Amino acid sequence: MANVVLLAYTPNPEHTVASAAKLCYSSSSITELSDNLTDEKAASFVEMLSEIGHESPIEHASFTFGIEGVSRSLLAQITRHRIASYSVKSQRYVREGAFEYVTPPEIAADEEALELYKEIMAEDQKKYDRLAEILKAKHKKEFLSQGKDEKTANRLAEKKAIEDARFVLPNACATQMVVTMNARSLINFFRHRCCNRAQWEIREVANQMLSLVIKVAPNLFKNAGPSCLNGGCPEGKMSCGKILEVREYFKELKSNG
């Protein structure tokens, strides 16, 4: 199961956003922007920005998450959100010995499907290990012939072997990452990925991320979530048809935050 932690964030994020917004509408100097800026006034500025659709000031608040227990399939999805920074466990430099993998709930709920899934993962591990062994032996021989000592040849051969062996690893292979997004990108991320139409794994991650940021910036993310929280569903015929249930779910998620 995915696990998300909030590693770091802009100190006083709502004050930072309010100060940036205040600059746009005030003749105050930079050093005076935060003067007399109470929590209530900061919240008022943030609410005003939401009402008038002035989103650029909220880019000054950023949030960094640690995400683990997710698949390489999720990695392919989350990195489509381009205004963000990503650091990901490398399969090129880290050998996948007895690799962990993510099991989709629908597979886990079916005994026959789960058994087959486990067999496939075990077979993938065997093929990966065997391929890495073959390539490592080949590369070690080459490095030794070039005059490398045993230890160096072994290290270089291992790296070069797993660089190619990783091509057989499945999308299910578990990974971990550090992700940083500014508040504006996060709100866009939540709009798309908290939706019931989003794939189950990234939706789970998005919901966890939202529950974390709502605790440290409640006014900033007050209206964050799928599009249907603040209007009609944009999915047309593809709508899940559960707007009331969705709104109740996120109301509870935010109140628990």
Q: What is the DSSP letter of 84?
A: S
Whether the Cβ atoms of residue 101 and residue 169 lie closer than 8 Å to each other:
no
Sign of CA dihedral 228, 232, 238, 242: positive
Active-site residue flag, 193: yes
Give one word for 225, left, alpha or beta, with left for phi > 0 and alpha for psi -120 to 50: left
Cα 72 to Cα 172: distance, rounded to the nearest angstrom: 6
Name the catalytic one among 193, 197, 203, 247.
Answer: 193
Q: Indicate the angle between helix axes 200-216 and 183-193, nearest 10 degrees.
A: 140
Q: Identify which of 63, 64, 61 has the alpha carbon closest to the alpha carbon of residue 14.
A: 61
SS3 26: coil
Q: How far apart are the first and last CA of the chain?
A: 20
CA-CA-CA-CA torsion sign (87, 92, 94, 96): positive
State both tokens at 25: 């509408």
Cα separation of 253 and 190, whole Å? 13
Catalytic residues: 193
